[in-house]
């Protein structure tokens, strides 16, 4: 399944954008870069490891789907993490089980998680902005504000888009910083 144009579209903010708009732009740009780097590949390409790592592009897709769902469920909505993540047998499950998943299903699940995340972020930011505290109380009693959660979510994409960049070049030679406009 091909990545749809909307997944890779980058919409520049105004040159005088505020903090919320810039932080959301940074996340959306990283999502678009990630979508471009993992998009349009078949199951074989998504399953290909890149030694010495066992990491795959499919594993990255599934991992970032989990990260989106986890931040949405726990931090924004204050509810337990949703299936299938709640029943994962171990912390490596999303990485290793992606090899068994259909490519179109991996793409569809990631898109759906991103859409749920966008909706939850819009509602949460409307209810208190970046200073609003997370709905989830962490094991140490801490409740980070949404600014911290948003930065952490962006950091996940920034780190893994770098992995996807190198892996995708090894798969079919695709290089570049931003998707074509």
Query: Is 130 inside a domain boundary?
Result: yes
Query: Is 103 inside a domain boundary?
Result: yes
Query: Per the structure block, which two tokens stand in for 170?
Result: 């090894």
Query: Is 36 inside a domain boundary?
Result: yes
Query: Is 181 inside a domain boundary?
Result: no
Query: Is 97 inside a domain boundary?
Result: yes
Looking at the structure of the chain, the number of domains it has is 1
Query: Is 160 inside a domain boundary?
Result: yes
The pLDDT score that the predictor gives to residue 12 is 86
CATH of the domain at 143: 1.20.120.450
**CA 13 – CA 25 distance, rounded (Å):** 7
Query: pLDDT tens track of the chain, all 181 residues?
Result: 344 446 888 888 888 889 999 999 999 999 999 999 999 999 999 999 988 888 999 999 999 999 999 999 999 999 999 999 999 999 899 999 999 999 999 999 999 999 999 999 999 999 999 999 999 998 999 999 999 999 999 999 999 999 999 999 999 999 988 888 7
DSSP string, 148-159: HHHHHHHHHHHH
Query: Is 13 inside a domain boundary?
Result: yes
Q: What range does the domain containing 126 cover? A: 5-172
The pLDDT score that the predictor gives to residue 44 is 95
Query: Is 179 inside a domain boundary?
Result: no
């Amino acid at each position: 399944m091909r990545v749809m144009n909307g997944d890779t579209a980058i919409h520049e903010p105004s040159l005088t954008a505020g903090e919320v708009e810039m932080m959301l732009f940074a996340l959306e740009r990283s999502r678009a870069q990630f979508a471009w780097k993992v998009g349009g590949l078949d199951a074989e390409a998504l399953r290909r490891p890149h030694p010495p790592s066992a990491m795959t592009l499919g594993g990255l897709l599934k991992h970032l789907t989990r990260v989106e769902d986890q931040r949405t469920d726990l931090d924004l909505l204050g509810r337990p993490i949703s299936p299938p993540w709640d029943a994962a047998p171990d912390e490596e499950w999303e990485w290793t089980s992606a090899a068994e998943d259909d490519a179109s299903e991996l793409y569809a699940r990631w898109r759906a998680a991103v859409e749920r995340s966008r909706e939850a972020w819009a509602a949460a930011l409307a209810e208190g902005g970046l200073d609003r505290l997370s709905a989830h109380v962490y094991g140490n009693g801490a409740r980070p504000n949404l600014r911290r959660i948003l930065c952490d979510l962006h950091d996940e994409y920034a780190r893994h888009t770098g992995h996807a960049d190198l892996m995708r070049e090894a798969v079919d030679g695709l290089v570049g910083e931003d998707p074509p406009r």
